[in-house]
Chain A
Amino acid sequence: MSTTTYREAMRDALRAALRDDDRVFLMGEDVGAYGGCFGVSLGLLEEFGPERVRDTPLSEAAFVGAGIGAALGGMRPIVEIMTVNFSLLALDQIMNNAATLLHMSGGQCNVPIVIRMTTGAGRQLAAQHSHSLEGWYAHIPGLRVIVPATVDDARWMLQTALDDPDPVLLFEHGGLYGLKGELRDDLGPVDIDRAVVRRSGTDVTLITYGGTLGTVLAAADELAAGGIDAEVVDLRTLRPLDDETILGSVARTHRAVVVDEGWRSGSISAEISARITEGVFYDLDAPVGRVCSAEVPMPYARHLEEAALPGVGDVIRAVEELGFRG
């Protein structure tokens, strides 16, 4: 065990991948000389050189597409996009090529690429740097969408993603980079097929991922003080969803609240709510609750941004609305 940050853990993961596999290279805007927009790849250029830590022009479609082509050509590219909002410039390549080539080619062209990007709000970066669109990507067959929420997962999910023969989108919440935690140095590759129970409880299941895990764990502590014992499920992977863990937990606790920084309409929280209703409806003691971001492009002003985002109080209120009698 050692104390580290999410940022450093991700950097360790990148370093290990570059060190252990000649086919791996990192490419994206400012990943090299600048050290990464958020400092994740600081020092890797000096360690591995400009071929393997490759600065690109501001051409999201071309460098994501080039990553796809390089993957087809036998490499294991890690492509960094600065934020999920910028990934929309590469949506053609992600959707029409990365997610589609395997099927369209009758199983011939698998695309072993990992595309990393920052997601989420909380830093007053307003409406073109702050959205949580990972749920959108989880709509697309052919993609795997993973969302490390802890220091351990930041360190150990990347290898599983690189081992996947198909495209993996890895979302790093911008608010997590400074998160400190105890890193298990010998954890090894994380099972990205499975969600994980971060806190066991018996009264209600709180389902979340990524940037809102901390919010939900804090809410669970407050709820415990008030006598409500919440179980917290960290999805880890938005596609494929781990129905077994989600439904199994809800079947035990009989209540569920989904917490998602994405917008409510057409969201991953809507999908999870629907699956719970389809799968364990008769185990439910209350309708499934949801806490999402307000349906507004993210505002700049701090008080407005805070009001738009799921907070501890919102989660507690949503749980209380499920009909607990204190």
Chain B
Amino acid sequence: MSPLDPKHGRHLLEQMLRVRRMEERCAELYTQSKIRGFLHLYVGEEAAATGVMEQLLPDDAVVATYREHGHALLKGTPMTAILAEMYGVAEGCSGGRGGSMHLFDMEHRVYGGNAIVGGGLPVAVGLALADQLAGRERVTACFFGEGAVAEGEFHESMNLAALWDLPVLFCCENNLYAMGTALARSESETDIAAKAAAYEVPAWPVDAMDVLAVERAAARAVTAVRNGGGPHFLELRTYRFRAHSMFDPERYRDKAEVKSWRERDPIDLLAARLRGEGGLDDGSLAAIEERVAAEVEAAVAFAEAGTLEPLDTLTRHVVSEPTGGLVR
């Protein structure tokens, strides 16, 4: 194993910590009723989005799920706009219309925040089709959980993307549970990469508790997609440390199982590697944590200072503004 560039390693660590600390704060804010609705945390899975996002360019697109706070943040959406969205204020990245599950940011090509399992895959295929038709060398990264592979839209989308050689990177975040349903209780074939391969989509599993492994796999896949190699598929093997949402008594899994996965916390794994190679010490870690804490505090303050949209604009954004902007 060649040594890791310490600067890059610390950057990856900071990216994962930004997601982790932001979401830990979100959980607190939820208990204070500052954030409502469903809140799905990504804690434990940060290496998956971090490793993939490192390989994307600003003009590449991301389609994600309802567990997408980290994806938006890592693609470039400011933490302030993300927190404000969860607060339901006008300064949110979706104007307060979407909430936690629907973060949109066209400036950074974040296309949601799709809360219908599997529903984002066809849209990602279409974004890629537009790029192919227009001759643009862009990549669309589509994130979804392993639960989505039970949906027809998954299979239809794999086939269509492969049939038309579309520039999509499918990123299946396999955290082993579709809400409370274990993979083995819902799939006759639990090898997810094999399902994608059945559609002639190059696919391989990745240890997604190791951000460096994700980054390597993503580099290979993104390069292939961008160079006209058609769709590629990463099965990102990961684990959700916390509840599915904020209302989950977790009857479906053992505490011992959670504990064993927590021992492979992607942040701890990377920090240990960096320390072992002399790329991180208490001082540099504290400096990272301090920067991240300041960003989180600023984001919370921004959301707290947000303004509620006036009620007379309730029916805005049902149709586009040039044609009237009122319910029809």
Chain A positions near chain B (C-beta within 8 angstroms): 25, 51, 56-57, 59, 61-75, 77, 92-93, 96-97, 101-110, 141-142, 144, 164-166, 239-240
Which of B95-103, B251-259, B263-271, B282-290 lines the interface with chain A? B95-103
Q: Which residues of A contact B116 (CB under 8 A)?
A: 92, 96-97
Determine the distance from Cα of A144 to Cα of B319 in the docked complex, in whole angstroms: 9
Residue B163 interfacial (CB < 8 Å): yes
Q: How far is the CB of A68 from chain B (nearest CB, A)?
A: 6
Question: Which among B150-158, B205-213, B296-304 touches the partner chain?
Answer: B150-158
B122 touches A102 (CB 8 A): no
* Interface pairs (28), CB distance under 8 Å: A25-B133, A62-B121, A62-B156, A62-B160, A66-B129, A68-B123, A69-B126, A69-B128, A69-B129, A71-B126, A71-B130, A75-B130, A92-B116, A92-B119, A97-B123, A102-B320, A104-B94, A105-B95, A105-B102, A105-B104, A106-B98, A107-B320, A142-B318, A142-B319, A165-B319, A165-B322, A166-B319, A240-B328
Is B112 engaged at the interface, CB distance under 8 Å to the other chain? Answer: yes
Task: Indicate if the CB atoms of B156 and A92 lie closer than 8 Å.
Answer: no
CA distance A62 to B123 in the complex (A): 8
Q: What residues on A are CB-neighbors of B160 within 8 Å?
A: 56-57, 59, 62-63, 66
B317/A103 in contact, CB under 8 A: yes
Contact B96 A72 (CB under 8 A): no
B141 CB, min distance to chain A CBs, angstroms:
13
Name B159's contact: one of A59, A65, A73, A103 (CB within 8 Å).
A59
Question: Are A66 and B323 in contact (CB-based, < 8 A)?
Answer: no
Query: In the bound complex, how far is the Cα of B111 from the Cα of A75, in angstroms?
Result: 16
Question: Are A73's CB and B153's CB within 8 A?
Answer: no
Q: Is the CB of B119 within 8 A of A65?
A: yes
Indicate if the CB atoms of B119 and A93 lie closer than 8 Å: yes
B102 touches A74 (CB 8 A): no
In the complex, the answer to whether B97 meets A65 with C-beta atoms within 8 Å is: no
Q: Which residues of A contact B140 (CB under 8 A)?
A: 69
B314 to chain A, nearest CB (A): 11
Contact (Cβ within 8 A) A59 B94:
no
**CB-CB under 8 A for A66 and B119, given A61-B156, A105-B112, A166-B319:** no
Chain A contacts of B328 at CB under 8 A?
A: 141, 144, 239-240
Using Cβ atoms and an 8 Å threshold, which residues of chain B touch A104?
94, 97-98, 102, 104, 112-113
Complex contacts, B163 vs chain A, CB 8 Å: 57
* B126 with A68: CB separation less than 8 A: yes
B125: CB under 8 A from chain A? yes
**In the complex, B106 has a CB within 8 A of chain A:** yes
Q: Do residues B317 and A96 form an inter-chain contact, with CB atoms below 8 A?
A: no
> B77-93 vs A: 1/0 string, CB under 8 Å?
00000000000000011
B119 lies within 8 A of A74 (CB): no
A103 to B104 CA separation, bound complex (whole angstroms): 11
Determine the distance from Cα of A104 to Cα of B110 in the docked complex, in whole angstroms.
Answer: 13
Specify which of B104, B124, B323 is in contact with A106 (CB 8 Å cutoff).
Answer: B104
Within 8 Å CB of B119, what residues of A? Answer: 65, 92-93, 96-97
**Minimum CB distance partner of A65 in chain B:** B122
Residues of A within 8 A of B130 (CB): 69-75
- Report the separation of the CA atoms of residues A56 and B94 in the bound assembly, to the nearest whole angstrom: 33
Contact residues of B between 162 and 213, Cβ < 8 Å to A: 163
Tell me if B127 is interfacial: C-beta within 8 Å of chain A: yes
B1 within 8 A of A: no
**A-B complex: 4 closest residue pairs judged by Cβ atoms:** A69-B126, A65-B122, A73-B130, A106-B95
| B7, CB-defined interface residue at 8 Å | no
Given contacts A70-B129, A109-B111, A142-B318, contact A166 B323 (CB under 8 A): yes
- Point out the residues of chain B lying under 8 angstroms from A164, CB to CB: 323
CB distance from B150 to the nearest CB of A (A): 14
Complex interface: chain B residues within 8 A of A165 (CB): 319-320, 322-323
Residues of A within 8 A of B316 (CB): 107
CA distance A75 to B140 in the complex (A): 16
Query: Are A107's CB and B321's CB within 8 A?
Result: yes
Does B311 sit at the interface, judged by CB under 8 A? no
CB-based contact B320/A92 at 8 Å: no
Contact of B125 among A66, A77, A107 (CB under 8 A): A66
Q: A101-B112, A107-B95, A166-B319 are in contact. Are A61 and B152 (CB under 8 A)?
A: yes
| Cα distance, A68 to B92, chains bound together (Å) | 24
Residues of B within 8 A of A25 (CB): 133
Q: How far is the CA of A110 from the CA of B318 in the complex (A)?
A: 9
Distance in angstroms between the alpha carbons of A290 and B318 in the assembled complex:
30
- Known: A97-B119, A105-B98; 14 extra A-B contacts, CB below 8 A, are A61-B156, A62-B125, A62-B156, A66-B123, A69-B124, A69-B140, A73-B130, A92-B153, A104-B104, A104-B113, A105-B97, A106-B97, A108-B104, A141-B328
| Residues A106 and B94 in contact, CB atoms below 8 Å apart | yes
Q: How far is the CB of B64 from chain A (nearest CB, A)?
A: 13
- State A83–B323 Cα separation when bound (angstroms): 29
Residues of chain B within 8 A of A66, CB atoms compared? 122-123, 125-126, 129, 160
Report A-chain residues with C-beta under 8 Å of the C-beta of B323.
Answer: 164-166
A65 engages B129 (CB within 8 Å): no
Q: Report A-chain residues with C-beta under 8 Å of the C-beta of B93.
A: 106
Residues of A within 8 A of B134 (CB): 73-75
Complex-state Cα separation, A107 to B93, whole angstroms: 10
* A74–B316 CA distance with the chains assembled, in angstroms: 22
